[in-house]
Structure 1
C-alpha cells in the first residue's frame, strides 16, 4: 500500500481561502501562513493530507501562471511555502501541489517573447500558433479562454521545463502533484515527463484532473497514479437529487472496474463545482459523504464542506467566487451553525481510518430501488453494509453503516 492509499485530503484553493485579491496580482502578503493555522483542524477531522490549489505566480485566479518556479506574491514567498511544508511534515500531513502544465497566462514571458520574435523566434515552438495573419497571430488556448495560452506538448523544451518544475517543488518538500486539465494534455507527454521526476522522487504521487474519457486507458498510457473520479461525483449528487439510486449503482459498478487497475481520487466537492450542500441540501450531503467514505478511492474533502457550506458556481466572470470563499484566521472563528456537519465528518473519516482496506473496496448491490440502496463494500475478506434511504416515512434522508458487530454509523436522530 502506497502512502497515498493511506491518505485522505483536505482540498484548499489558497487564493480564495486566504482572502487574496483574485482579479489582479498585486498586494503582496504572506498569506500562506493563514493555511498553516488550519493544519490542526485538518488533523482534527481525521485527515492527513493537504491538496493545495495553485501557488505559483499568476495573473489572476492562479491558473494563468506567469512563473511556475515562483510563489505568487499574493500568497507570500518561497520561504512562506517552505514554512507551510515544514509545518505539514511535522504533523505527518502529506502535501500535493496543483500543477498547471497545460497552459500559461497570456502575460507569461514566453508568450510575450514568442509574439515579439515571430514564427522564427526560439519561443514560437513552445506554443501552437497560427501565423497565417502575421498582424494577428492566433494562439491555441484552453477551451476558448484566450487568457490561457496552450503549451505545445510536442516540444521537448516544454517537457524539460515541466519536469524541472515538478522536481524543484518536490525537492522543497511536496509529496505529489495534481495535474490540472490533464485530460487536455496528450497522455504521451506525461509518459515522457513522469519517469524523469520519479527518478529523483520515486514515492511522488501524481493525480490527473480528468473529467471524462477512458480513465483506465489514460492512466495506463500516461503513467499517472490516479485520476479524478468525476463520473462518481456526478452520480452521487444526481442520484440523491433525482431520487434514482440506479444511477449511483451503475457508477459504482464502473468504479469497481477502475479499482482493478488503479485507485481513483474521489470527492463530492472541489473548487470548480457547486457545493454539495447547495445541490442536494445539507441532510442529503451527509449521504453523499457516507458514499465517499465507504467506497474505494483516495477521498478529498473540499474546505467548507465539513461545515455544510453552500455556494453555487455560475458561468460568468467571478462565477467561482461563491465556492472559493475566504476562511477566518483560525478555526475558532467559524460560525457555530456548521459544527454538526463537522462532527459527521469526524465520525465518518474516523470510520474509514479504522477500516483502511476501504481504499480498494468494491461494492455490490444488496437491495436497490429508486430511493433505497443497500450495498456491500468488500476487500481483503472484510465487509461493510451501507444503507442509503433518500426518503422514508418521515421524509428525512438517512444512512446507516454496519458490520458483523453492529451499527458503526447512523445519521438517524
Structure 2
C-alpha cells in the first residue's frame, strides 16, 4: 500500500478557493485585495487547508470578475503590488499552505496591449493574427461572420472601427486568442515561468477545453455547430490538439523541483476527462459531477465510483467540489424544492429560484445547511483532493436580493436579466458580526451584503462549538490525521438512502441522505465527527458521521 505521506501534495489536498475581490479588503475601498488575504492567513491556517487557489488578481477592467486579464504578469493596482503578492505567498508558505493561481489562456481583456495593438494596426496586420479576426458577411460586411452566440448571451462576434469582426466566446471585452500563433504559445510559457519562479505551487487552467479552434472556411451556422459531435474534432470545444499545448506546459512544470501542478477546468464528457488529468497533460482535472447532482445517495455513489475509475485511468487523483464562484452555493441548492421532472440544470440548481426573486417561502435554509454539511463531510472523506469555496465553511447561502443596478455579472446584462448571473455567490465575506461591512473592509463592499450575514460572521461562528466553521475546522484536522491511501470500499447499509465507505486504515464515513434516522451497529468504532448529534447509536436523517477504529 502506497504511503500517502510520500505522494505529491496535490493528490489528496484540501484546496480553498479565494475570490480575491470578495475575501478581505485591507485598504477600505470596498474591493478585496492581496493585503487583505495576507491579513487573514492565520484564519486559513486555523481552518486547516493545505492550499489556496486564487481566482484572478491581475489587472482587469472587471468585465467578467477579473477573468478579462489585461496583464498576466502583474497585480491589479487596486488589489496591491507584486511585493504584496510575494509577502502573501511567503506568509502562506510559512504556514505550510501551497498556492495555486488562476491562468486564463482562452482569451485576454480587450485592454490587453496585444489587443490594443491589433486594433491600431488594422486589417491584415501581424498584430491581428494573435486573435481571431474575420471579415463580415453581406454586401458591405455589416453582418457577423456567423450567427454564433456567446456563452454570456448575445452575438459571439464584435465589429471594430475598420469593419472587421473578432470572435469572443465569452463577453465582448474578452477576445479569444489564436492558439495557432507562436507568439501566444511563447507568451504563456513566459507567464507560467514568471509565477513559478516567484514560488507558486500550481495553476488552475480556466476553460482548459476551449483553447484550440478550427475556423477553416466555410464556418458552420449555429444550428450546424450544435449538431457536430464533441469527440476531439469539434471546431471550438475539447479538441484533441489542445493537449499539444499542455504537453509544452508539462515540460515547464516538470522543470521545477518540486514540479508545478495544474488542474483543468474542463467541462467535457466523462470519458474525455482522463486526457486532461494525465501526467503528460495538466495532471488533474475538476470533477463537476457532484456539483451538478441532487442530494441523493444513488447519484452520489454512482458519481464517486465512476470518477475514481476515471482517476485510475489517468493516473491522477479525483477532485471533489460542491461550490465555486460560478454556481449557486450548495447550502441554497440543497434547500430548494426538488426539481420538476425534466427540469434543466439551471432550474434544478437554483437559477429559477434566483430569477423568481429568491422567494424565501420556498427555501428551507435550515435543511439546506444540514444537507450541505452532510455532503461536504462526505466528500472530505473521499480519496482525492477536495476544493472548498470561500464562505462555505461558514454555511453561507446564496445572496438573492441584489438590485439590478448593483449587479456586475455580464451574463445578467447580456441576457437582459433572463439569466441572473453569478453575483450571489461572490458577495464579500462576513468577518465580524457588528462591524461595518461585517469586517470585510471599512468602507462597504462592492456587492451588497444582507443583514442575515451577521449570524454567519467568522467571529460569531468561531465562538460557537456547534457552528459550521467549528465543524469544518474539526473535520480538516481529523482528515489530516486519518488520511490514507487513495482507495475505498463500499459497505452495505441495508438502505438505499444511506451510503457507507471504508478507507484503508479502517476509518469509515456514513451519510444518511434520507430523512429517517439510521442505527449504527455497536462496536463499529468511535464516532469522531458528526454533522448532527448521534444519540443512542442513532444517526439523524440528512447527516454524516466519521468513525475511527478504536486504536487510531
Gapped regions of structure 1 (runs ≥ 5):
22-26
Match of 1:24 in 2: none
Report the 3-state secondary structure (helix = DSSP H, G, I; strand = E; otherwise coil) of the residue aligned with 1:259.
helix
Aligned pairs (5 A) from 1:4-403: 4-5=10-11, 7-18=13-24, 31-60=33-62, 61-132=65-136, 133=141, 135-143=162-170, 145-185=171-211, 186-200=242-256, 202-213=258-269, 214-220=272-278, 223-235=281-293, 238=294, 240=295, 244-260=296-312, 261-280=315-334, 281-311=368-398, 315-317=411-413, 319-327=421-429, 334=457, 336=460, 339=464, 340-357=467-484, 360-364=486-490, 366-367=492-493, 369-370=495-496, 372-378=497-503, 381-393=504-516
Summarize deviations over 1:139-172 as a string: whole Å, max 9, x none. 22124x2221111112221111111111101111
Equivalent-residue separation in structure 2 for 1:401 and 1:343 (angstroms): 27
Equivalent-residue separation in structure 2 for 1:189 and 1:341 (angstroms): 42
TM-score (norm. length: structure 2): 0.66
Summarize deviations over 1:325-370 as a string: whole Å, max 9, x none. 2235779953525850011112221221112225x23453523755
Give, in angstroms, the shift of residue 265 of structure 1. 2.7
Equivalent-residue separation in structure 1 for 2:108 and 2:521 (angstroms): 45
Equivalent-residue separation in structure 2 for 1:322 and 1:399 (angstroms): 38
Equivalent-residue separation in structure 2 for 1:329 and 1:161 (angstroms): 39
Summarize deviations over 1:359-384 as a string: whole Å, max 9, x none. x23453523755x2223243xx4343
Summarize deviations over 1:243-266 as a string: whole Å, max 9, x none. x32111110111120231211332
Q: Which moved more, 1:294-303 or 1:315-324?
A: 315-324
TM-score (norm. length: structure 1): 0.86
Give, in angstroms, the shift of residue 305 of structure 1. 0.5
Equivalent-residue separation in structure 2 for 1:374 and 1:385 (angstroms): 10
Distance of aligned partners of 1:325 and 1:158 in 2 relative to their CA distance in 1, 3 Å threshold: same
Equivalent-residue separation in structure 2 for 1:182 and 1:116 (angstroms): 29
Report the 3-state secondary structure (helix = DSSP H, G, I; strand = E; otherwise coil) of the residue aligned with 1:151.
coil
| 8 A Cα contact 1:66 1:107, kept in partner | yes
Distance of aligned partners of 1:346 and 1:102 in 2 relative to their CA distance in 1, 3 Å threshold: same
Alignment length (residue pairs): 394
Distance of aligned partners of 1:78 and 1:376 in 2 relative to their CA distance in 1, 3 Å threshold: same
| 8 A Cα contact 2:17 2:324, kept in partner | yes
| 8 A Cα contact 2:278 2:284, kept in partner | no
Larger-Rg structure: 2
Distance of aligned partners of 1:368 and 1:203 in 2 relative to their CA distance in 1, 3 Å threshold: farther
Summarize deviations over 1:77-131 as a string: whole Å, max 9, x none. 1111111011112111111011111111122221121132234322222112213
Equivalent-residue separation in structure 2 for 1:166 and 1:182 (angstroms): 15
Distance of aligned partners of 1:39 and 1:220 in 2 relative to their CA distance in 1, 3 Å threshold: same
| 8 A Cα contact 2:122 2:128, kept in partner | yes
Report the 3-state secondary structure (helix = DSSP H, G, I; strand = E; otherwise coil) of the residue aligned with 2:200.
coil
| 8 A Cα contact 1:249 1:365, kept in partner | no
Summarize deviations over 1:154-203 as a string: whole Å, max 9, x none. 22211111111111011112111111111212222212233134324552
| 8 A Cα contact 2:394 2:468, kept in partner | yes
Distance of aligned partners of 1:288 and 1:329 in 2 relative to their CA distance in 1, 3 Å threshold: closer
Equivalent-residue separation in structure 1 for 2:38 and 2:379 (angstroms): 26
Bigger fraction of residues in strand: 1
| 8 A Cα contact 1:384 1:402, kept in partner | no
Equivalent-residue separation in structure 1 for 2:254 and 2:326 (angstroms): 29
Bigger fraction of residues in helix: 1
| 8 A Cα contact 2:321 2:386, kept in partner | yes
| 8 A Cα contact 1:271 1:302, kept in partner | yes
The Cα RMSD (Å) is 3.0
Distance of aligned partners of 1:388 and 1:30 in 2 relative to their CA distance in 1, 3 Å threshold: closer
Give, in angstroms, the shift of residue 30 of structure 1. 8.9
